[in-house]
Amino acid sequence: MSKSPDPVYGVRTEFLAGDPLRGVGAMAILAYHALLVALVHTPPRLGFAPFGPVGNRLLRDLPLGLAVFFCLSGYLISRPFAYWLVAGERRPALGRYLKNRALRILPAFWVTYTVVLVWKGPGPGGLRGALATYGLAQSFYPTTASYLIAQAWTVGVEAMFYLCIPIIFLALAAVTRLLTRRRTPRDSQPETASSLTGLVILAALGLASLVARSGPPMTGLHLLNPLSALYNFIPGMALAIAEPVLAPILHSRSVVSRLCEAALWVLALVAWAYYSYLWTGGAVSLLAYVQGTRALAETLGAGGLVGALLVRQWRRGDAPRILFNRPLRFLGQRSY
């Protein structure tokens, strides 16, 4: 959860932690993997066909819940740095930041992986594969030990993002100071200038990320290096950088806020519909499949969903009741 002071327009910090939406994403990912094991990896390997054409299409797109996870991480982890960059808040202490990020994921992952490693054994690759996995580098050193928990590639992507965030925002701060140092307080709006500069640079980084992951080879090093994976987090980072400027404006202008919220819902629906339409039958792995315009549609859909909920929150200070309830919050808090 962000340590930045919440603005006066009424933010519910428990929703800012993304708990309800994380709960939805967790259920989607759990359901996908359970069904995948039950229906795809067992004879007669019908996939999701028993659920009919509509069910098949919906169920195969459940991994979009992961895009929501990454977008939320982009927003939540970036938010304290965004308030430092745009609103002049105190910069997060880097040592404390890295310590908190490590404690959030490493102990639980190490315990889980150790149990599985002892249970199944390291197999070919042995100690090196296990050490790579403990260091969250299993995607770059493919051995039997590296894939004992195949889904852990997402933890490695998150860890890379955690390391990249301070670097990106320190660079953004340097560029912003360079571009705005000749302005005077009377003829400039430093918050707006910093926000716009950050958004333009993020857009360029997102484009570079999408280009970097497009095309062969389909390897972990190619698809999961920091640049190729960064596009997942860009929409959330953009929302964090825009918040200090947009939130007060949208809070005081109900009509504009409603229009923005509606536009973001439309963006989410159209982007994900396009993503689903581009399905090619799953001839390649899901990870390699999400490239080019498919990757763009995936991440824009997640950004539209999270953005729509944030705009509502900036305007009203709440979340839809269908999301903001104890079961989803409980599941979301324990899902990652």
Give residue-wise pLDDT tens across range 43-94: 655 566 667 777 777 777 888 888 998 999 999 899 999 999 998 889 999 9
Prior bond to 185 cis, omega within 30?
no
pLDDT band with cut points at 50, 70 and 90 for residue 183: low
Residues 6+ apart with CB under 8 A from 326: none
49 neighbors 282 (Cβ within 8 angstroms): no
pLDDT at res. 4: 40
pLDDT exceeds cutoff 90 at 276: no
User: Per-residue DSSP letters for 185-240?
Assistant: TTS--HHHHHHHHHHHHHHHHHHHHHHHHSSS---HHHHSSHHHHGGGTHHHHHHH
φ, ψ for residue 229 (rounded to 5)?
Answer: -95, -10
The string of pLDDT tens digits covering residues 242-264 is 999 999 998 888 899 999 999 99
